[in-house]
Amino acid sequence: MKLGVIGYGARIRHVIAEITRQDPACRVTAIADIQMEPIRRELSSSGPTDIRFYDSPDAMLEAEELNGVLIGTRCSLHTAMALKVLARGLPLYLEKPVATTMEDLLCLKLAYESSRSPVVVSFPLRVTSIVKAVKEIIDSGRIGTVEHVQAVNNVPYGSVYYQNWYRDEAETGGLFLQKATHDFDYINYILGTRPTALCAMTSKQIFKGTKPAGLKCKACSDNRTCPESTAFREDLPPEWEYCCYAEDTGNEDSGSALIRYESGMHVSYSQNFFARREAAARGARFLGHKGTVEFDFYTRIVKVIMHHTPRVETIEIGAGEDHFGGDAYLARNFTEVMRGEAASAATLDEGITSALLCLKAKHSAETGTFQNIAFD
């Protein structure tokens, strides 16, 4: 099973490691990356390799016979690279967000509708054991029809969005696309219904300031007293090196959205990027008339609370590592998709819906308007 890679970054390397662990018959045979020579040296340092390297994805796709392609470029290039793969009908593993602009998203939608490529989007939360358990409980009817959802994501590692390349909003498209895209997707999956409208708001209260643009923590005079300094942190990657209080630090540091669904019920969602330690939380409450189901990825606890009888059921789920076990599931799913043995567990249709929600939320926050969830 021959894999081609477009953009050999840290995230896609992890995905590849999971794929080869799930199916040792899969191997990377071709890489297209603008950092071709450094990657070649890095991989050859651990022994001989028969991987072929290309300075453009077009050259790789033209020359190679591949069973599947993985895209791990920076976010702003996801759509452009996906269009090239979709045009050839190859199985595709696409990192999220699937697009960072409305124009790209519409192009991606149209290309996918005319392509034969099966696509797995990197949405590991929807396939975790804890999300599947919550969906099973809701689908059983125990709490009645879900009529309200309260969801939260307090990110304890939020500095990544201000202290390395993610701080560039032109690359990320904002933090709805970076984080909420996962949460919107698992909520859509659990509900099994369509979002129709939303409004949103963002704030930037903490990670802003007047430090010089491009300042790195090691060069900052406050690096021994600043609580966010990475100058002496050996537990963080060296890429987390920029001052988060510099004038060129991008991205909001909190955001919220209200999303209406086709039944008339709504979801409230809020995310925060300066929470730390035990303030971390990621999960949701699903409320029906009969009862409530709530869960948190960090605690690995699901609670079923009945409204009309004094009964609370607590379930502890073995959530797993790496996106709470979801990475391994999607890696296995992609190998099965390439072999024609399974359908995608996270389709591009679902990736497009989630990205559309995020882009509409971003626009709503910028304009103070309600937005319909449609290509208009």
Domains of the chain: 2-124+327-346 (3.40.50.720), 127-205+251-321+355-372 (3.30.360.10), 208-249 (no CATH)
Q: What mean pLDDT comes out for the span 201-220? A: 96
**Average pLDDT for 102-106:** 98
Residue 147 sits at φ, ψ, to 5 deg, of -120, 0
d(CA 92, CA 366): 33
Task: Specify the higher pLDDT residue, 165 or 44.
Answer: 165
Q: Is it the case that residue 280 has pLDDT exceeding 80?
A: yes
Task: Report the pLDDT value the prediction gives residue 234, as an integer from 0 to 100.
Answer: 86
Give mean pLDDT, residues 179-185: 97
Given a cut of 80, is residue 108 above it in pLDDT? yes
| Range name among 12-21, 231-240, 263-272 with the lowest pLDDT average | 231-240
Question: What value does the mean pLDDT of the chain take?
Answer: 94
* Mean pLDDT of the region 167-189: 95
Residue with tokens 């009309």: 308
pLDDT of residue 319: 57
Q: How far apart are the first and last CA of the chain?
A: 41
pLDDT score of 326 = 87
Average pLDDT over every residue of 183-193: 98
pLDDT band at 323 (very low <50, low <70, confident <90, very high): low
Instruction: Evaluate if residue 110 carries a pLDDT over 90.
Output: yes
**pLDDT at site 43:** 83
Look at residue 219 in the predicted model and tell me its pLDDT.
95
pLDDT of residue 52: 94
Share of the chain above pLDDT 70, in %: 98
Q: Residue 101: what pLDDT?
A: 97
Task: Report pLDDT for 376.
Answer: 78
